[in-house]
Amino acid sequence: MPRVSEEYREARRDEIARAALRVLERKGVRDTSIADIVAESGLSTGAIYSHFTNKAELARYVVGRFLLPRLDTLEIAGARGDMVSPRDALLGMLSTFRDTGLPPALVIQFWGEAMVDAELHAEMLRTAGRLLDSLTIAITPWTGAQGTAAADVAGQASRCARTIAALAQGYVANAAVFGPRDIDEYVASAAAALAS
């Protein structure tokens, strides 16, 4: 039997994930079953289970495909000493929604389900930890350049990273409830509101 290439496996996981996202958006996280994903994708149950055995694995994959590459880019820039401002970090994170079509309402559903599903909760905590770590690394050079005392650069960058994450969560919640919102306008509006 010929070996399946990693590129093929990744393409199949993407196909399943996109089908799952469509049905999850329609039916909701709680009411979506593997049978629904099978019907949406046109693949067999075995094909689905060979890639994702539960919603936590699917959530991990979606985060890995959509969010982590953005975090990696920000983190690499910060590690190189590039000046990534909080505004740039926020725009970099939120551009995930514009560029991938990931529905903010689906993210909210996963957050809600994570409050009652231990596996999803653990995945959410892992993702949030990675998000805060990456943002902290990304903005540390900028924080140091703002005249922050050398002894407090790490602490200030960490606090700022948490605020950036909160602003991103605000965008997700706002877009889920009130509908799509231009990311550049949201960031500019948040900056103006905080400056006044």
**pLDDT range class, residue 25, cuts 50, 70, 90:** confident
Number of neighbours of residue 76 by Cβ within 10 angstroms: 14
Mean of pLDDT values over 36-47: 85
Residue 193 above 60 pLDDT? yes
126 phi/psi in degrees, rounded to 5: -60, -45
Write down the domain spans for the chain: 6-53, 60-195
- In three-state secondary structure terms, 70 is helix
What is the rounded distance in angstroms from the CA atom of residue 100 to the CA atom of residue 95?
A: 8
**pLDDT range class, residue 184, cuts 50, 70, 90:** very high
Concatenating the DSSP letter of every residue in 23-54 gives HHHHH-TTT--HHHHHHHHT--HHHHHTT-SS
Confirm if 64 and 52 have CB atoms less than 8 A apart: no
What is the rounded distance in angstroms from the CA atom of residue 47 to the CA atom of residue 123?
A: 23
Which residue's entry shows tokens 């700022």? 160
Mean of pLDDT values over 66-90: 87
Domain 6-53 has CATH 1.10.10.60: yes
